[in-house]
Structure 1
Amino acid sequence: MTIKKSALTYSEASIKVLKGLEPVKQRPGMYTRTENPLHIVQEVIDNASDEALGGFGTQIIVTLHIDGSISVEDDGRGIPFGLHPEEGVPVVEILFTQLHAGGKFDKASGGAYTFSGGLHGVGVSVTNALSQRLDVTVWRDGQVADIGFSYGDVVRALTVRSANNRIDKKSGTRITTWPDPKYFDSANLPQFELQNLLRSKAVLLSNVRVALIIEKTGERQSWKYKDGLRGYLLEGLAGYSTLTPIFEDERYAGSACIMHNTFAEGEGASWVVAWSEEGPLLRESYVNLIPTPGGGTHEFGLRDGLFQAVKSFIELHNLQPKGIKLLAEDVFSRVSFVLSARILDPQFQGQLKGKLNSRTAVRLVSSLVQSSLERWLNQHIKHGYILAELVMKQAQARTRASQKVEKRKSSSVAVLPGKLVDCESTDIAYNELFLVEGDSAGGSAKMGRNKELQAILPLRGKVLNTWETERNRLFANNEVHDIAVAIGIDPHTRDDVIDLSNLRYGKICILSDADVDGSHIQVLLLTLFFRHFPQLIERGHIYVARPPLFRVDAAGLGKRPAEKLYALDKAELEVIIHKLQKDGGPGSSSTWTISRFKGLGEMNPEQLWYTTMNPDTRRLILVQLGRLDFDATISRMTMLVGKGEAAARRAWLEEKSNNAQADI
């Protein structure tokens, strides 16, 4: 069938270049949350917090005005308003009208900011782009500067005057914004969320007073926590007792020679942790004062550090019953915590910064927490025994639950494949099966895995295309047979009533090379699961692991230690190289080397574990049904992998060829 295309013109004039703040106005959801204006106000608050974090401010005042505007004022150094040496435009104008302009790129000694939440020079320019009006007043060096914007453009040019009275003789910045309601689902600022945000800033910034003024009601709230994180945690747990005294500490590289050679000076964390047997849990984390509601690698580090320390204490005192194996969740399941990490150059998941992705944060926080808790437990043996008892109760309850599942499936169990390297646990809430391309990669995965929770099934060659294979003929293929027996579930349709109590793994992860052949194997396995095990996809059991394609060995430079960086593809590689060039300056390309993995078999067990199998640092994609309805998806899949659809595939490929990114 021929598809008739419309006569739309596609020429040089069709290409549009978005300049200035237009990208933000065209796609605001890429830069901020669009439910309400809170996030664009938070960008301004974060800048004031960064000043205080650097030791240049003692107060932050947020005012909700009667006319609907919001102002944020601090007593920091004040935004520079002189002419930029290269652009010839006032700096304060550049910061609010150009993306990727700011003072937080240079993290080296002597930079304006060493530790900050702002990273990309995007924040306040987004605030300006999505505001009907924005006014800036700066007090600095005995002068007062004012500038006004409307819809992202300068409408009131910069004016500078001398401070002429006692009120003006100060330093700081006040930014007032009128958010444009057309960009948000609701124009109302959620006051409860704003209050929580401001309170958390006060918690994390000792000696800084944070205030909220609501002009309409005349209400004024102010926060300053003398007890810091401890006071905040106890306030959140009010009415519930903790099992042991609160475990708290703060440790940073360079202080008392803590890991100064491994991490940049000043990197580290402060934390408060409490265990309780009942009641709600409070869990909050921050990176350079930025809330991370999605958690991330710093929380993984906290969990690992607590687990390793408690496990060491239990083993040292012979408290572990026979037949019981501890897991990190046994230690972490009844933990409340507030964690504040300080990272020199944090990598967040997107501009919204809701989750930390910096892999080094796992090792940083884990090592600090583990050594601190080990010392605390051995100084408080009595409390250590109480904590160990709680942890063992959790482990025994988990073990009993898994044994019940085992009894339900103890009869008529098929003989497991000989090449399956099974895990020791039988709890599918934690178990993982990796379907690995090739025996050599399977060997590395076997040696690098967590043998308690991770099973390995090496696959030889490419799996059969099973799209048009009848169910009663599936097991004629050895690879398909082994996969079905290993996972414990028979082939089925979407409408079948199946018993998932026989499922042996909560996560079934496809692990293939990061090249074209590996992608082909992924497609064949996804075809198998979608066609013959669709309920495993619908219930969230199928994943795709993403191993890196490149490794960059970067030599130490300045505060930066030597490190190995991994990139999933060329796009990530370009980002890494750009960052290394920025950090190293001109002529620095000799300080790193780039290697390309030809396949998983080239990775040693430690590399494969760190990049692809470690739950704290890997990248897994949950396989889900897309936007098409189920019947439309069946039709699309038939066109893509059906044996009699070559002509339709060819037409589709010709139509979509411009979207292809070939990796030859």
Structure 2
Amino acid sequence: MTNNYDEQSVRVLKGLEPVKERPGMYTRTEDPTHICQEAIDNAADEALGGFAKNIQVTIHLDGSLSVSDDGRGIPVGLHPTEHLPVAELVFTRLHAGGKFNKKDGGAYAFSGGLHGVGVSVTNALSTRLEVTIKRDGGIWHMAFAAGEVVEPLHQIGKCPVKETGTTVHVWPDAHYFESPKYSIPELERLLRAKAVLLQGAQFTLIQEDPEHNREKTWHYPNGLKSYLLELCANDAPIVPILEIQNYIGKDNEQFSEGEGAHFALTWLEEGATMGESYVNLIPTPSGGTHEAGLRQAVFTAMNHFMSHHGLLPRGVKIQTDDIFSHVRFVLSARLLDPQFQGQTKDKLTNRDALRLVAHIGTDPIELWLNQNTEAGKKIAELAIKQAQRRLNSAKKVEKKKGSSVAVLPGKLTDCESEDIRENELFLVEGDSAGGSAKLARDKFTQAILPLRGKVLNSFEVHQDQLFSNAEIHDISVAIGVDPHKPNDTVDLSGLRYGKIAILSDADVDGAHIQVLLLTLFFKHFPQLIKAGHIYVAQPPLFRVDVNAQGKNKPARKIYALDEQELDAILERLKKENIKETAMSISRFKGLGEMNPDQLKDTTMNPDTRRLLQVRIPEEALTDTKNTFVMLMGKGEASSRRAWMELRGNDVLADI
């Protein structure tokens, strides 16, 4: 690092340069499968709209891959404002595509594409990319190298007007990937799943070979049911497969027309929950809010069914996991404006998706249960057995310290459950926020301990003197573990909560309280960090209220963790042509300002919150300790001064 920091030090990345500089921000870099999946997803979106019936993926002998569809074909005319061919814009500009415009249905009312970066990322990370388009009676061709146009769009022939489609031929640049080989199992799973979700569409994978090409075709006329039976493999379901397809009609005040879900599920005698979920045909291997909505729908319907038929034994309280623990499912949700965690779209984060799937799923599931009473009773019996096993395995916690029984802190609002696998303790900044948290919590599994003011800096406090501080004493007694040293053999059997979450304001003071509590756990409760019990909650700093945009766009509340996320949200709303007068931004001064519903949805509900686990890798332990010494040590003022002089420009001040 040089000492020169002047105007020339600032570099501006243009075009596709950001992708080449930081490919991991835009795609998975283990292998080129995901960048090719972007082209497959675009073809599948044509099938989702009902315009394509046949999609073919070919892995060529030279390591390249092509995707062909018989959809509408990418438009070849000039863009009205950019004055460049639309096909060129799609492949060379980030945030350019046909999936932003959802007014009056748009070109893609329901699609997995959100940001317009997918196929342009494919182009940026390829040594060569060729596009052939059939549209309006002409055959068009263009080529790129490393994201730059090398053969402008030009017509190479003619075809029947009714013959349309797009072929994208990709040569991935091995320089950007750990392995140059495609994941064939992943491609097969993807194509098979899309064939299931798009009844009537045919997906083919061809692997070219000098002697004999290998070809697989997927076509599921029976859709989700036949696919779910494959997922069950050798395990026989104990009840018939339940399949439901339900979409929102016109004049619905909560959701947009056409939104909804199609799912199939069944129960097995043994085995953990397993399934696959999709949003607008995009696979979501990490699940998300649509899966949470399905769980809620099943739980609510089963609860009503068991109550109606008097099936629940006295003293047994059924939880969601009891009912869902042996489920096999396939879920395909359809959302007008899906929001994913990251560009790889592994997890859906729309909070509205939970309400949507629960809304459209609960009544049909309950109707199916009442029409198939014997099947419903088998499911209830399975859930009751699971609940009884859970209750029997839960250990009763002895609240002891030394030879006497420790009295739990009076300000602790405890939870009802005694099973630490599901119990959570929130250490909340201030009594005001503690009051909101008490109203927002799930009283069965979530406990609240409000902390008054800032906790003592305990980095250089002797272990024997810790309990002289009332806040630290209350924390230790509440969690059921005594302070200890890193190398001590610690008995964690008295631990009362599986998750201990620090919940403070999303400002500088809140960050300071986080550091003080993390110092306490790092210095005096290190085994809790090592065992993965310490977490940091992530409340939002901003809320954006967006007015309703006609019948198809109900009013929305969007939360932002920080200013960077707020800027991204405002940019996305701008792309949706939402005027500044149609939205308002509010900043939370603290957790106490949030009403309980807001705090629950954004910070405490396991299905919709952001909760970071505190982990310290072994190789980073020494550096972490040195950082704590520098930041929290009483005799380290000169080190802190030097650090601030070196890193002061990196600090985000909240003034």
TM over 0.5: yes
Identical-residue share of aligned pairs (%): 59
Residue in 2 aligned with 1:203?
Answer: 196
Pick the aligned partner of 2:633 from 636, 642, 655.
642
| Residue of structure 2 equivalent to 1:661 | 652
SS in 1 for 2:62: coil
For the residues of structure 1 that align with 2:336 and 2:404, how far apart are their CA atoms? 56
Q: Distance in 2 between matches of 1:247 and 1:435?
A: 42
Partner residue in 2 for 1:457: 449
**Residues 1:13 and 2:4 aligned together:** no
Alpha-carbon distance between aligned partners in 2 of 1:99 and 1:205, rounded to the nearest angstrom = 28
1:461-480 maps to which residues of 2 (within 5 A)? 461-480=453-472
Q: C-alpha distance in 1, partners of 2:254/2:129?
A: 43
Shift, 1:412, TM fit: 5.3
Change (3 A) 1:119 1:492: same
Instruction: Tell me if the contact between 2:540 and 2:560 (Cα under 8 Å) persists in the aligned partners.
Output: yes
Do 2:399 and 2:405's aligned partners in 1 also have CA atoms closer than 8 Å?
no
1:380 aligns with 2:380: no
Q: Which residue identity lines up with residue 653 of structure 2 in the other structure? A: A
1:8, distance to aligned residue in structure 2 (A): 4.0
Shift in Å, 1:225: 0.3
Which blocks of at least 5 consecutive residues in structure 1 are unaligned? 1-5
- Alpha-carbon spacing, 1:427–1:175, altered in 2? closer, same or farther (3 Å): same
Aligned positions of 1:63-82 closer than 5 A: 63-82=58-77
- Corresponding position: 1:22 with 2:20: no
Letter in 2 for 1:507: K
- Local SS of the residue matching 1:286: strand
TM norm structure 2? 0.96
Separation (CA, whole Å) in 2 of partners of 1:230 and 1:144: 40
| 1:138 equivalenced with 2:133 (yes/no) | yes
Structure 2 equivalent of residue 324 of structure 1: 316
Alignment partner, residue 183 of structure 2: 190
Shift of 1:341: 0.6
Cα distance, 1:236 vs. partner?
1.8
Structure 2 unmatched runs, 5+: none
Matched, 1:113 2:113: no
Check the 8 A contact 2:297/2:361 in 1, yes or no: yes
- Report if aligned partners of 2:31, 2:181 keep a CA contact under 8 Å in 1: yes
CA distance in 1 between partners of 2:444 and 2:252 (Å): 34
Match of 1:560 among 546, 553, 565: 553
For residues 248 and 396 of structure 1, do their structure 2 counterparts lie closer, same or farther at Cα, with a shift above 3 Å needed? same
Q: CA deviation at 1:437?
A: 1.0
Per the TM alignment, residue 318 of structure 1 is displaced from its structure 2 partner at its CA by 2.3
Match of 2:53 in 1: 58
Cα 1:592–1:89 shift into 2, 3 Å: closer
Write the distance in 2 (CA, Å) between the matches of 1:467 and 1:137.
Answer: 65
CA–CA separation in structure 2 for the residues paired with 1:89 and 1:593: 35
Partner of residue 580, structure 1: 573
Alpha-carbon distance between aligned partners in 1 of 2:23 and 2:5, rounded to the nearest angstrom: 26
8 Å Cα contact 2:427-2:501 kept in structure 1:
yes
CA drift of 1:306 comes to 1.1
Q: Give the letter aligned to residue 286 of structure 2.
A: G
Query: Matched residues in 1 for 2:9 and 2:397: separation?
Result: 63
- In structure 1, the residue matched to 2:252 is 260
Q: Choose the corresponding residue for 1:37, options 32, 35, 39.
A: 32
User: Relative to 1, partners in 2 of residues 1:614 and 1:264: Cα closer, same or farther, differing over 3 Å?
Assistant: same
Cα deviation for residue 594 of structure 1 reads 2.3
Q: Which residue of 1 aligns with 2:359?
A: 367
Q: CA deviation at 1:169?
A: 6.0
User: Is 1:213 paired with 2:213?
Assistant: no
Task: Tell me, in whole angstroms, the C-alpha distance in 2 between the residues paired with 1:554 and 1:157.
Answer: 41
Please state how far the C-alpha of 1:91 moved relative to its aligned partner.
1.4
Length, aligned pairs only: 651
- Per the TM alignment, residue 573 of structure 1 is displaced from its structure 2 partner at its CA by 2.3
Give CA deviations for 1:336-373 in whole Å, capped at 9, x if unaligned.
11100111111111111111111111111122222221
Structure 1 residue 613 and structure 2 residue 587: aligned?
no
Cα distance change of structure 1 residues 440 and 11 upon mapping to structure 2, 3 Å threshold: closer
Structure 2 CA distance for aligned equivalents of residues 153 and 50 of structure 1: 26
CA contact (8 A) 1:409 1:501 kept: no
Q: Which residue of 2 is the match for residue 3 of structure 1?
A: none
Q: CA RMSD in A?
A: 1.8
Could you state the TM-score of these two structures normalised by the residue count of structure 1?
0.95
Q: Give the equivalent residue in structure 1 for 2:296.
A: 304
Return 138-147 or 64-73, whichever deviates more: 64-73
Structure 2: which amino acid aligns with 1:188? K
- Contact kept, 8 Å, 1:139 with 1:169, in 2: the verdict is no
Further displaced range: 38-47 or 380-389: 380-389
What secondary structure, in the 3-state scheme, does the structure 1 residue paired with 2:104 have? Answer: coil
Report the equivalent of 2:239: 244
Shift in CA distance, 580/279, structure 1 to aligned 2, threshold 3 Å: closer
